[in-house]
Structure 1
Amino acid sequence: MSENANWYVVHTYSGHENKVKANIEKIVENRGMEDVILEVSVPTEEVTEVKNGKKKTRQKKIFPGYVIVKMFMTDESWYIVRNTRGVTGFVGPGSKPIPLTNEEVRKMGIEKKILVIDIEINDSIRVISGPFETFVGHVEDINMERQSLKVLISMFGRETPVELEFSQVEKI
């Protein structure tokens, strides 16, 4: 077993993603394998649609027909996931699953690291990375959900609003 669990992509029957997720979670719980199969995810995004003049918000699957599983790859964990009702197989050549790279996991937004900052509105900050590095400004708005700040930076003699991630700034 490797020291870190990896994310694997599992192909399912279309429309059965949530059932597969529930089935895997139930099997893991029944067999006491919470330390081998750590997390099962069906990536979704919130979509707002306007129909008949009414706004409706719903969850839309980002990758229909796929479930993402974080697990340690063992013969037993492979067997359990592969033989879950609704699963057609792992993504990878033949029967050998290929884990997602850290870059792929980050881009897909599966594993979001929540940063906590001690910055408040009207605080002065310095930009420490990105195209506005070394600029100084003050915080106008904080968006915890998107992990970003709206900062007014003095550029070319006028205040310019810029959106920055928490990791790009430090408090002065």
Structure 2
Amino acid sequence: MKNEKTKNTYNRLRFLGQLVPQLICLYVFFMAKQNEGLGQRWYAIHTYSGYEENVSRNLRQRIESLDMEDKIFDILIPTETKIKIKNGKRKTTREKIFPGYVLVSMVVTDDSWYVVRNTPNVTGFIGTGVIPTPIDDKEIEELQRRMGVEDPTYNIDVETGDTVKIIDGPFKEFEGKVSDVDVARGKIKIIISMFGRETPVELDFLQIKKV
């Protein structure tokens, strides 16, 4: 009797195990049909960190080999220009705005969803469950603006309250505390002691180094 109950339980679990993948596929198909009505939109996919370019390259190859150009239109890895300043040295770099994410312009169908989702090193779409959520058009416009900005932003390894040393200009060799950091302008304000008084001075990032 006990063996019979165990067998029945096993059969029920086995049946459910076979049914669940089919239900998931039906759910994906149904939601893909709903998203298809949205037309061409931008979606975000999550990747393993450091594999963004690899995903972009592999996905482009899959689009071409599987003739999906009419459903998957563009791939974007959002980056922006930044100036890093460390110990008085300036270095211009392109940095990812969203590490671990790639944007895809596509019409979501069950086929296009499958092609993107099963690209190596893609862990999933950003959305509810397995269903991708389109990115707001205003967010895409802002991203494109950031990527096209000619004036780069600065990235410096000091913050308010840090002690820095002036290495260039009329106040060279003075030390003081950082009171303000203006990343957009590449300027920094520090408080130095001069003639027994605390005096604020504004300097370029290149004129200081962290103590």
**Alignment correspondent of 2:58:** 23
Structure 1 segments, 4+ long, off by >4 Å, are none
**Alignment correspondent of 1:166:** none
Shift of residue 35 of structure 1? 1.6
Matched, 1:9 2:40: no
**SS of aligned partner of 1:100:** coil
**SS of aligned partner of 2:45:** strand
More helix by share: 2
Distance 1:43 1:106 in 2: 12
**Alignment correspondent of 1:106:** 141
From 77, 96, 115, the equivalent of 1:61 is 96
Distance 1:11 1:5 in 2: 19
Identity of aligned residues (%): 45
**Alignment correspondent of 2:109:** 74
Distance 1:20 1:110 in 2: 24
**Alignment correspondent of 1:37:** 72
- Answer yes or no: is the 8 Å Cα contact 2:80–2:146 preserved in 1: no
Q: How many residues align?
A: 116
TM-score by length of 2: 0.50
Structure 1 residues not aligned, in runs of 5+: 115-143, 147-172
Distance 1:145 1:53 in 2: 23
Higher gyration radius (CA)? 2
Distance 1:70 1:77 in 2: 11
Shift of residue 75 of structure 1? 0.5
**Alignment correspondent of 1:88:** 123
Distance 2:79 2:135 in 1: 18
Structure 2 residues not aligned, in runs of 5+: 1-35, 152-211
- Answer yes or no: is the 8 Å Cα contact 2:47–2:100 preserved in 1: yes
- Answer yes or no: is the 8 Å Cα contact 1:43–1:110 preserved in 2: no
Distance 1:111 1:6 in 2: 19
